[in-house]
Amino acid sequence: MRKLAVVALGGNALVKEGQRGTIDEQEQNVYETCEILLELIKKNYNLIITHGNGPQVGNILMRNEAGYEVYKIEKMPLDICVADSQGGIGYMIERQMRNVLSKAGIHKNIITVVTQVLVDKNDTAFKNPSKPIGPFYIKEEAALLSNANGWEFKEDARKRGWRKVVASPKPIDILNKQAIETMAEHGIIVIAAGGGGIPVYRHENNYLEAIEAVVDKDLASALLAKDIKADEFYIITDVPAVFINYNKPEQKTLKNISLNEAKCYLSEDQFGSGSMEPKIEAAIDFIENGGKVAIITDTTGLYENNSGTRIYKN
């Protein structure tokens, strides 16, 4: 029987640190990532790919502002910007995956699902924006943009600069999850929940309405993985493993840790709230709800067994 894996691609799968984010750069990065994902396909996995959109949706929002300022083009709300990024990034991953499979002589159907994610409009996250999107700025640039647009900025935990932050409510449900599961079980590679999905909420009459927010892609991916009973959950990021005491003399790499150990480190605030913390929370959520193993690593970690940080049931 084939194993089912959900692989959550971080922003570095599209735009690497120090790059401008040109289309040529993004397509090359995506192609290289798809070559690595091919390893799972060769190992007979059914595959669901999710992805981040932080740089891309931030750029779409800036185009919003520039278009309005210069040409008075009406601004689109954040949910439409997230949907735009889902379609664009999904198309890139889908096309480059087809190229990689073609080169390997493998035929598979691939589909991108523009995915809505249910949230609670009363989530406390709306009172404390924390999800970084868009590029890094120096402090003075961030202050100017904040004054001009009413945006909120926070400094990156790794001191790379300041980024715009928006509300990041907890995902409650993935719409169309049954369809995603069915297609994956039939061997179709599914690209879904891009950028954490498009956040929507229900009125009392069950009417769906969009809400200004960005759902964390790792938490949404974990919710999807547990709901469809995936065997393994991969979180691909820009570091080879998880560390405690990060950037301190006593820094330590975590390799194989239990669920209880992961919870303990989380309670000690060992992980940055805007970076590694949601990844650990997502891994814990997946394992607590029936998942077998969650792996946090960079793309090279897909080549080798026991690479990265692997979190198991106690």
12 in catalytic set:
yes
Query: What is the pairing mode between strands 198-202 and 208-210?
Result: antiparallel
Identify the active-site residue in 11, 52, 197, 308: 11
11 in catalytic set:
yes
Identify the active-site residue in 58, 197, 279, 308: 279
Q: How far apart are CA 209 and CA 230, in angstroms?
A: 29
Identify the active-site residue in 10, 53, 59, 217: 217
Cβ-Cβ contacts under 8 Å for 277 (sequence gap 6 or more)? 266, 271
Identify the active-site residue in 12, 29, 53, 59: 12
217 in catalytic set:
yes
Identify the active-site residue in 29, 131, 274, 291: 131
DSSP per-residue string spanning the chain? --EEEEEEE-GGGTS-TT----HHHHHHHHHHHHHHHHHHHHTTEEEEEEE--HHHHHHHHHHHHHHHHHH-PPPPPHHHHHHHHHHHHHHHHHHHHHHHHHHHT----EEE---EEE--TT-GGGGS--EEEEEEE-HHHHHHHHHHH--EEEE-TTSS-EEEEE--PPP-EETTHHHHHHHHHTT-EEE-SGGG-EEEEE-TT--EEE-S----HHHHHHHHHHHTT-SEEEEE-SSSSEEESTTSTT-EEE-EEEHHHHHHHHHTT-S-TTTTHHHHHHHHHHHHTT-SEEEEE-GGGGSSTT-SEEEE--
131 in catalytic set:
yes
Q: How far apart are CA 78 and CA 212, in angstroms?
A: 6
Partners of 201 in the β-ladder: 209
Are 297 and 308 contacting, i.e. CB atoms less than 8 angstroms apart? yes
Q: Supply the residues annotated as catalytic.
A: 11-12, 131, 217, 279
